Amino acid sequence: MLPSGNLLANIPATSRDERFDTLLSRPGVRIERIVSTGQASPQGFWYDQAESEWVCVIAGSASVLIHGDPEPRILVAGDWLEIPPHVRHRVEWTDENQPTVWLAVHIGP
């Protein structure tokens, strides 16, 4: 049987916490669906990951700030962003009126 699914299935309308679902995991690559319902990075927190991350917003919207950039990047459905290893970044906000569904591909160690 071949694994399959739908990125937009079983989306919670609201949740206190973000939801992370691993869709595929192999050596050197992990693909996950992230569902955000108004969450953002904690004040002063920056992601600094050892692996490269490619993200695409499937539904909803979000704002991602890359350390050193003057303005955050607004991402809407269909927008994607590649974040190289150790590029500090944070999620400034995610849509509070509808779930933001991300597809994230992590590549590296």
Measured CA to CA, the distance from residue 25 to residue 64 in angstroms comes to 25
38-90 pLDDT tens trace: 999 999 999 999 999 999 999 999 999 999 999 999 999 999 999 999 999 99
Measured CA to CA, the distance from residue 52 to residue 64 in angstroms comes to 16
Measured CA to CA, the distance from residue 40 to residue 95 in angstroms comes to 10
Cα maximum dimension of the chain: 48
State residue 60's pLDDT score.
97
**107 DSSP β-pair partners:** 29, 52
Domains and CATH numbers, the chain: 19-107 (2.60.120.10)
Q: What's the CA dihedral at 4, 34, 101, 5 to 10 degrees?
A: 10
State residue 31's pLDDT score.
98
6-50 pLDDT tens trace: 999 999 888 889 999 999 999 999 999 999 999 999 999 999 999
92-102 pLDDT tens trace: 999 999 999 99
